[in-house]
Structure 1
Amino acid sequence: MTIASMIDHTLLKADATNEQIEKLCHEAAQYEFATVCVNPHYVSRSAELLANTKVKVCTVIGFPLGANKTAVKLLEMELAVQDGAEEIDYVINISDVKNGDFQSVKNEMKQFLKIKEKYPDLTIKIILEVCYLTNDEISKVSWIARECGIDYVKTSTGFGSGGATEESVQIMNEVSGDQVKVKASGGIRTAEDTQKYLSMGVSRIGTSNGVSIVNGTLSTNDY
């Protein structure tokens, strides 16, 4: 398995253009990244551009705050899948975690997984946004994901006050075990960063720096 095949090639900026999305998809096909990760607005276009490749389309739901009502997130997910998304990264309700309402966090996961029953090949990743959580909260949410059968736990949106850290990834790995994979994202800019997290057992890297990582060059992208 190559490093490229473990990267979600990402462009989630608010001012992303059609031309930038086309470039992203061209790069993804060229380097054979796992997915392109784009905002819902660009899912259908990305799916068209990547139709004859092995690259999947990933999108984000409830992004970047996670504070939408669950019903809104579920509708976002349904529409994204209809547009061609094969992987979904949704932001948990961070306020529920901070309020200690882990039952609501669990209930939301279960509702996402219920929709997944209609789309069995769909991959679901939950975004914890670890920069706002304590180690205990990271552990609890990771355990709930394991109980529910979520595919991945993901560190960050890339739009919070911080990104992936070795400490958070270690906790997520230890709690998730073999049942749930871990995606590290946020601030991963170099091949060294990538290798560090892969060596810790991470299964997927989310970054806008995929091309420079694969080529061993320096990127100035900040997420």
Structure 2
Amino acid sequence: MDFTVAQIAKMIDHSILRPEFTAEDVRKGCAIAAKYEVASVCVRPCDVPLAVQLLRASSVEVGTVIGFPHGDTHTAIKVAETELAIYQGATEIDMVLNVGWLRSGHIDAVEREIVAVIEAAKGAPVKVILENAYLTNEQKLAACWAAERAGAAFVKSSTGFAPTGATIDDLALMRSAVSAKVRVKASGGVRSLDQLVAMAAVGVTRFGSSATEAILEDLARRTRIELAHLRAA
């Protein structure tokens, strides 16, 4: 394995987004994030203050979701959500674009909304969620181009709440659509180390997953086995 546990950890946004999660579930999720020093947690908007408090002493960023999971709230609401999240200490923003507008061909409106959220984020990186399950390849490309023109830091495959999530084909298409200054995030069904490594091979550099501990412990186990084989050779 070419990656270390620390390297993979810094590619993961640990997802704590399920609607039924309690405050204790959020605390447990943040403890996992801090233990492995992942890139960030991605929490529900109502959990931003708690996550900021819990992770203050760590290097883990606190991210949240905007217009989640359907993307169809009014632009003004998405802007207000973003402003409040930043005020409460969020440092990364994952926004769902307006899927209906995109499918209707209203690309200018999609782009304007992304710009509005980016401005409200005040320099925090914004990840634009396409929700690929509902899009044609042409629509995925159009969304990626609009996100880059708007100034997004990432394009992201999925919310994890649609019928399907991240696929290698979609991620490769997204990577081909944007320049090197825009990164690609895979989310939705990223549950194993092998999946993550395969996605990294097509240019993905950030992963949203709730299976963080299992992925990183699997890598640690494989690394120990490799080291043992080397010592025995």
Q: Which residue of structure 1 aligns with residue 215 of structure 2?
A: 213
- Structure having the higher helix fraction is 2
Match among 34, 49, 52 for residue 44 of structure 1? 49
Preserved CA contact (<8 Å) 1:127 1:154: yes
Aligned equivalents of 2:174 and 2:69: distance in 1? Answer: 20
TM-score (norm 2): 0.90
Instruction: Structure 2 unaligned segments of length 5 or more: list them.
Output: 1-5, 220-233
Does the aligned pair in 1 maintain the 2:112–2:150 contact within 8 Å?
no
Aligned residues of 2:96 and 2:129 also touching (Cα < 8 A): yes
CA contact (8 A) 1:149 1:179 kept: no
Q: Distance in 2 between matches of 1:107 and 1:202?
A: 26
2:14 alignment partner, SS class: strand
* Counterpart in the other structure of 2:26: 21
| Ranges in structure 1 where 5+ consecutive residues have no aligned partner | 218-223
CA distance in 2, matches of 1:144, 1:171: 15
Residue deviations 1:1-54, cap 9 Å, x none? Answer: 610110000111111111111111111111011011110010000000000110
Q: Whole-Å Cα distance in 2 between the matches of residues 56 and 114 of structure 1?
A: 19
The SS at the match of 2:7 is coil
Whether contact under 8 Å (1:9, 1:207) holds in the other structure is yes
Instruction: Work out which of the two has the higher radius of gyration on C-alpha atoms and give 1 or 2.
Output: 2
Deviation at 1:216, TM superposition (A): 1.2
Match of 2:3 in 1: none
Q: Give the aligned length.
A: 214
Determine the structure 2 residue equivalent to 1:142.
Answer: 144
Partner of 2:155: 153
Deviations 1:115-159 (A, max 9, x none): 23xx22x11001000000000000011011122221000000000
1:105 paired with 2:107, answer: no
Deviations 1:63-85 (A, max 9, x none): 00000000001100111111111
Q: Provide the residue aligned with 2:166 in structure 1.
A: 164
Whole-Å separation in 2 of the counterparts to 1:10 and 1:110? 25
2:73 paired residue number? 68
CA–CA distance in 2 between the matches of 1:127 and 1:197? 17
- Match of residue 11, structure 2, among 6, 11, 17: 6
Instruction: State how far apart, in whole Å, the 2-side matches of 1:91 and 1:29 are.
Output: 26
TM-score, structure 1 normalization: 0.94
Pair 1:199 & 2:201 matched: yes
Q: Distance in 1 between matches of 2:100 and 2:148?
A: 21
